[in-house]
Amino acid sequence: MPTAQILTIGDELLSGDTVNTNLAYLGERCRRLGFEVVRALSVRDRIPEIVAAVADVTVDLCLVSGGLGPTSDDLTAEAVALAAGVPLVRDAASEAAIAAVFAGFGRPMPDINRKQADLPAGCDVLPNPVGTAPGFAASCRAAATSPACRGCRAR
């Protein structure tokens, strides 16, 4: 059976402010899809800690949750790009999709939200039908900093 790890990102998960219900949801979904979740890790909103967590992956699939919002403490895309050894690039389709979400509310897209369209070069974009942040799937397999990371999906 293929193995998976779940990486959840956010200070609020460690301080006790938030119960990590995402973990149980993702664990159950992985199981249904035929993956055995062998490890779950939560780290703070800090680039080096997220990069280290991604680089340390030894399973077939690492699901990443958290840190895709528009504010300065949302660092997942930047950290995964670093771990994969690729730059962040703005994805035009994602930027348009985010603008469309705001248009649906009759509001212009705040500049701060454009950052949510900045994704690791070469990733597969996972469109988000229910919010602004697109997900993405990136391989860290070839990255010098994370030779063991076989797959990484962030959403």
Neighbours of 118 (CB within 10 A): 16
Contact 83, 148 (CB under 8 A): no
Residue 147 to residue 107: CA distance in whole angstroms: 44
Shortest separation between residue 128's beta carbon and a copy of itself, angstroms: 22
Shortest separation between residue 67's beta carbon and a copy of itself, angstroms: 15
Nearer to a copy of itself, 20 or 139 (CB): 20
**Residue where the block lists tokens 């840190």:** 67
Nearer to a copy of itself, 42 or 94 (CB): 42
User: What are the residues binding a copy of itself (CB under 8 A)?
Assistant: 6, 13-21, 23-31, 37-44, 49
Nearer to a copy of itself, 65 or 113 (CB): 65
Tokens of 3: 């193995």
Shortest separation between residue 149's beta carbon and a copy of itself, angstroms: 17
Residue 119 to residue 56: CA distance in whole angstroms: 21
Nearer to a copy of itself, 26 or 133 (CB): 26
Contact 7, 54 (CB under 8 A): yes
Shortest separation between residue 56's beta carbon and a copy of itself, angstroms: 9
Amino acid at 74: D
